[in-house]
Every structure is written in C-alpha cells, then in structure tokens.
Amino acid sequence: MLTEFVGVTDSLSPLYGGDVKELRFTGFDRQISIFLLKVGFEENGFCFLRERLEDVVDRLDGMVGWLTLCKSKVVEA
C-alpha cells in the first residue's frame, strides 16, 4: 500500500524508478514498552500504577511511535 501511495511504481510519479529502501520494524516487547512509559512518565513527574501502564501497552502493542505519543499527550495535558 505504501509503495502505491508514494508512487515509485507509477511512471507518471516524480518518484518513479527511484531507489527504494524498506525498513521493517517490530514493536518493543511488553516489558520494554512498560519500562519506556514508566521512565518517560517519571522523568516528567508522573507516577502510574503498573496495571494502567500494562493496559496502555496492551492497547498500543509495543509500537514506539504510539507509546511516545501517549506519553507526550499525558505530559502536556
């Protein structure tokens, strides 16, 4: 889907024929995700119950961008 969106296979696209590099990323495991949120919150003066952190991690499935966004939204609120 991303290849079609960017247009590297579409001869009318300015990106047609360009060199494409693909990076595949799997999210963090559960323990690292919980640690990431815990440390991020503590650095900003927040403290959460482990159960709450586990709930967030279960919903976001270890995806770094979503974990970071979650922490940022809580801290700025």
Question: Tell me: the pLDDT tens digits for 28-54?
Answer: 999 999 999 999 999 999 888 889 999
Whole-model pTM: value is 0.66
Q: What's the chain's average pLDDT?
A: 85
pLDDT of 1 above 80: no
The answer to whether residues 39 and 33 touch, using CB atoms and an 8 Å cutoff, is no
CA angle 40, 71, 52 (to 5 degrees): 90
Comparing CA positions, the residue from 42, 33, 24, 44 lying closest to residue 68 is 33
Q: Where do the structural domains in the chain lie, given as residue ranges? A: 25-77
- Give the pLDDT band (50/70/90) at residue 58: very high
